[in-house]
């Protein structure tokens, strides 16, 4: 008991170290939300490009997905940070958001593409026969159904994304994992800060899973 209360005191209370974790959590969450938003936009664009009829866009989209999937995220992050965006004056968190978003977009695009391809082609035909353009058919008829169908996979992607942001420390961004690392450096206690970090991640992903299930149930209203 004594050791536990000591551990908590040294790792959380002293020098207001809990603030370190809270700020880290804030950064991780921000990063995830921005990256997810960027990822959805890029994913949607890539999916539509790949399904469309313009051949150079198709090839570009395929190449993009291949490159992103074929290289480690941490390498992409560092490259984007130092080589491409490090020279600009963008805040570090935005650079990281873009890097994670670019990465997530590749995976999201494959999900969306699968979701669209799984739809009966009669849906598109019915929309076109009413006079909707290709774009409007996609927007009102096809994409809403595709998103509904891939929602579980999409939610999973965002949970993965949250955990992936744990490597943001590589570009010296003070996210939750790095907060654990910093505290460890001060207290020389390897376990407590990282068990804490793990519990926080677990707590957040549990909440996300719950929200996702709720959303899924609501969207199933039409089944």
Partner 1 sequence: MINVIDLHKYFGPLEVLKGVTTKIHRQEVVCVIGASGSGKSTFLRCLNLLEEPTKGEIIIDGISLLEQKKELDKLRQKVGMVFQQFNLFPHMTVMENITLAPIKLKGMSFESAQEKAAKLLHKVGLSDKNDEYPSRLSGGQKQRVAIARALAMDPEIMLFDEPTSSLDPEMVGEVLGVMKQLAYEGMTMVVVTHEMGFAKEVGDRILFMDEGIIFEEGSPTELFENPKKGRTQAFLSKVL
For partner 1, the binding residues (CB under 8 A) are 120, 122-123, 125-133, 136, 140-141, 144-145, 148, 221-223
Token pair recorded at residue 209: 């899973």
Minimum distance from residue 37 beta carbon to partner 1 (Å)? 23
Rank residues 19 and 117 by Cβ distance to partner 1 and give the closer one: 117
Rank residues 16 and 222 by Cβ distance to partner 1 and give the closer one: 222
Minimum distance from residue 119 beta carbon to partner 1 (Å)? 10
Rank residues 3 and 53 by Cβ distance to partner 1 and give the closer one: 53
Token pair recorded at residue 44: 């949607």
Minimum distance from residue 135 beta carbon to partner 1 (Å)? 10
Token pair recorded at residue 97: 């958001």
Minimum distance from residue 41 beta carbon to partner 1 (Å)? 22
Rank residues 66 and 216 by Cβ distance to partner 1 and give the closer one: 216
150, 156 contact by CB (below 8 A): no
- How many residues belong to the chain? 223
Token pair recorded at residue 46: 């890539």
The rounded distance, in Å, linking the Cα atoms of 145 and 85 is: 36
Token pair recorded at residue 169: 């420390």
HSE at residue 53, side-chain half, CA atoms within 13 A, is 2
């Amino acid at each position: 008991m004594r050791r536990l209360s000591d551990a908590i005191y040294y790792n959380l209370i002293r020098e207001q170290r809990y603030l370190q974790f809270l700020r880290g959590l804030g950064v991780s969450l921000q990063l995830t939300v921005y990256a997810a938003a960027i990822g959805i936009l890029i994913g949607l664009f890539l999916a539509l490009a790949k399904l469309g009829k313009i051949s150079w866009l198709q090839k570009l989209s395929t190449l993009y997905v291949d490159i992103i999937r074929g290289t480690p995220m941490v390498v992409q992050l560092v490259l984007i940070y130092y080589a491409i965006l490090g020279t600009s004056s963008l805040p570090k968190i935005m650079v990281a958001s873009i890097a994670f978003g670019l990465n997530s977009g590749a995976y999201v695009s494959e999900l969306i593409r699968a979701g669209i391809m799984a739809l009966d082609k009669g849906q598109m035909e019915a929309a076109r026969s009413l006079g909707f353009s290709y774009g409007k058919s996609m927007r009102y008829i096809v994409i809403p159904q595709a998103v509904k169908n891939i929602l579980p996979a999409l939610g999973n992607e965002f949970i993965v994304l949250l955990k992936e942001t744990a490597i943001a420390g590589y570009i010296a961004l003070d996210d939750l994992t790095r907060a654990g690392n910093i505290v460890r450096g001060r207290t020389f206690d390897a376990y407590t800060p990282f068990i804490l970090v793990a519990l926080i991640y677990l707590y957040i992903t549990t909440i996300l899973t719950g929200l996702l299930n709720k959303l899924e149930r609501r969207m199933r209203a039409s089944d």
